[in-house]
Amino acid sequence: MILLYIVALLLLCIALNQLFKVVELSRDLKTEKEWLPKESDNRLNGRLMMVFFVAFMWFFVWQIYRFGGDRILPVAASEHGPKIDWLLNINYALCIVIFVITSAVMFYFAWKYYGRDNHRATFYHHNNKLEMIWTVIPAIGLAFIIVFGLKYWNEIMARENDPDPVKVELYVKQFDWTARYAGKDKKFGIDDYMQIDGSNPVGLDTNDVACNDDILVKNEFHLPVGKEVTFQFRSRDVIHSAFMPHFRAQMNCVPGQVTAFRFKPTITTAQMRKDPQVMRNIDEINAIRVKRGEEPIVFDYVLICNKICGASHYNMQMKIVVDEPKEYEAWIAKQKTFKAVAEKK
């Protein structure tokens, strides 16, 4: 039986070889070179370009309908979030308008000016008006975005409406987050990288009494709703980026430098889990997970790293819980201070 398979394969190879010879001989008999495009070929390609443009635009609109809007992110859960969303939507609108116009012109030109026999394209050397148009218009658009971006940034960072904000430090290293809360004294103790070890993961100075009431937490950290939170960020090794997408907040974490950000949470985790848009998206995700035999999930705020920082970058997540003020106070009261943990060890 194996011998028959081998013979059949050899006969197939011989037949293909003869077929290729026939094709080569037929090419030699033709007066025209088949690799040279004809006007009819160019006309067909021009029409196909318009067909492709229509199909491509339809697919583009479908993508926006299927995955845009609240499917990207639910409603902003911070006080400044709606302004960030508004500015982002303006950016989207500008990009979409420019994309559609330039694509339409490009495909139209491919259809209108397909290659014709005995016709040469016009050499268009320079046009000052066109140069001004495609320089000034983008400059105006960029200036608009930059001006509003700076305006919102100053509004977020310059204000201090709350005289007693919650102070949180996010300390990051490959591939892990640690949150530190200022204790009852409302200030962070001094840090010293030389003192980093297994029992002191962020390098708090054991000689500084201000460190004693600081609180270190892993895996998840809590924030009170309606209360301003001031963050400071530190990195042990490489540049990371602390990204809290639901709060429209992001800040780079730079080794040897302390960066900062502030925002006020406006929606608790429990409230967000009842939001119809959030529930719809979670239900769709869980339907897929159940088919795969995976456990269903619930909505959670997350802190992620938004800088590719190494092999396990994708796994750098920390859960954020936004509580009512009383729930937050009860949670923070249960956390052990740095001094208590050190004495226990």
**Confidence (pTM):** 0.77
Please check whether residue 242 is in contact with residue 172, taking contact to mean a CB–CB distance below 8 angstroms. Answer: yes
Instruction: Report the pLDDT averaged over residues 165-192.
Output: 88
pLDDT at 223 over 90: yes
Q: In angstroms, rounded to a whole number, what is the distance separating the alpha carbons of residues 221 and 256?
A: 24
What is the rounded average pLDDT of the residues 332-340?
Answer: 84
Q: How far apart are CA 48 and CA 40, in angstroms?
A: 12
Higher pLDDT, 320 or 122: 320
* Predicted pLDDT of residue 141: 83
- Predicted confidence (pLDDT) per residue in 71-94, tens digit: 788 889 999 999 999 988 888 888
Q: Grade residue 339 by pLDDT with cuts at 50, 70 and 90.
A: confident
Cα–Cα distances (Å) from 295 to 151, 288, 291, 318, in that order, read 44, 10, 10, 19
CATH of 166-344, one of 2.60.40.420, 1.10.150.120, 3.40.50.1260, 1.10.10.10: 2.60.40.420
Q: Is 178:300 a contact under the CB 8 Å cutoff?
A: no
- Pair type for strands 215-217 and 220-224: unpaired
CA-based radius of gyration for the chain: 31
Q: Domain ranges for the chain, please list them.
A: 39-116, 128-159, 166-344
**Which pLDDT score, from 0 to 100, does residue 50 have?**
93
Q: Are 297 and 283 in contact, with CB atoms under 8 Å apart?
A: no
Question: Mean pLDDT, to the nearest integer, of 311-329?
Answer: 92
Amino acid 302: pLDDT: 94
Res. 121: pLDDT tops 80: no
| pLDDT the model gives residue 29 | 65
- What pLDDT sits at residue 168? 93
Whether the predicted pLDDT of 127 surpasses 90: no
Check whether 285 has a pLDDT greater than 90. no
Contact 77, 266 (CB under 8 A): yes
d(CA 15, CA 9): 10
Decide if pLDDT at 160 tops 70. Answer: no
Q: What is the DSSP string of 68-131?
A: -GGGTS-S--BSSHHHHHHHHHHHHHHHHHHHHHHHHHHHHHHHHT---TT---------HHHH
Average pLDDT over residues 298-310: 91
Other beta carbons less than 10 A from residue 118's beta carbon: 5
